[in-house]
Every structure is written in C-alpha cells, then in structure tokens.
A = this chain, B = another copy of it.
C-alpha cells in the first residue's frame, strides 16, 4: 500500500506498537481509497465504499475530506512524490547502463496502486495531471542529464540527445500505463541499449 507517513498515531498512545486496527482513521481512509481507486477507478468508487473498506463511519470520510475529490488529491499529494533533485548517477561512457539505472529507479515514490491511479485518473483532476506531467518532465530531465554525462563527446547534436531523452521517457511511462492495457511488454534495458547505440 505504499508508505503511509503515519500522522502521529492519533488513536494510539505514542510508543505503542501499531497494528492494522490501530492505524489512524484518516490513514485507513486513504488506504481504502488507494485500493479502490486503483481497482475500479475514482468515478466508480462511492465514498460509502471507501468508508466501509476503511471500517470508519461514512461521515468521517467527509470530516477529513470535505469533497470526494479531496481524497484523490490528497492521495496524489501525500502518496506520490516526484523526486526532482538532480541526483542522477551517470557513468561517463556508459549511456546504456545509465539509462537502465534510471529505468530501474524511476524518480517516483509511489506504490504500484498509486502509479496505477496516477495514470488512470490523469483526466480526473488537474492535480493528478500535473503530477504526471512533472514525472514525465523529471524523467526527461534525468535522461537528458544522464546522456549528457554518459556520452563520451558531444557527438550528435543536442537535438538528437533531446529526442533520445523524450523517447526513453515515453517508453518508461508507456511501460507503466498502456502496457497494462495492451499486454505488450517492453524491456527498458534493451531500449536503453538501443538508444545508447544510436547516440554512441
């Protein structure tokens, strides 16, 4: 379900061990929503169902999240993090390996369910779309940066490098999103190798 960033354990005394039923109501609501939104989608999830799964009274959902959309926004807000620090470990001379490493660790802290939500609900609310856009931008930026560092000389103009970065980002996102729909798989490592070869 991803890291929950427990909000101080409203219901348990500090220092006490935490078990499922002890988790704070707000967290349980978000957990439930995450599972449901990922499974059947935001629109198809009634708030009452969230409350039921979270084992909290229906009114409490609206106590914490005045509008239903706030649950989604909060989920995106608290449970997806696009890492925008420029920490890219690029190995000069190894463009393919550098891209592979990027593929292996997307600059995105989010559970699989949250990733699903991020793609599936991009149409639902601006904040989700923004987050997805930021993720895309960050991947491109990292890919670009990695390639710049990794490539021996500035062989090939900057434009081609940009295309390579964008293409790689497309593949990574595609892998998470449309692959699920179409059933086709892509091996990011192979793509990394292909791109490195194109630029090499």
Interface positions of A (Cβ within 8 A of B): 41, 43-44, 120, 122-123, 129, 132-133, 136-137, 140, 159-160, 163-164, 166-167, 169-171, 173-175, 177-178, 181-184, 186-187, 190-191, 193-195, 197-198
Main secondary structure of the interface of A (DSSP, over half): helix
Chain B residues within an 8 Å CB radius of A197: 160, 198
For A134, the closest partner residue in chain B by CB is B182
For the complex with contacts A159-B190, A171-B171, 10 further pairs of A-B residues with Cβ separation under 8 Å are A129-B182, A133-B181, A133-B184, A137-B184, A160-B194, A163-B190, A167-B171, A170-B171, A174-B178, A197-B198
What are some 29 contacts across the A-B interface (CB < 8 A)? A41-B43, A122-B178, A123-B181, A129-B181, A129-B182, A132-B178, A132-B181, A132-B182, A133-B181, A133-B183, A136-B182, A136-B184, A137-B182, A160-B190, A160-B193, A160-B197, A163-B186, A163-B187, A163-B193, A166-B186, A167-B171, A167-B194, A170-B171, A170-B175, A170-B186, A173-B174, A177-B177, A194-B195, A195-B198
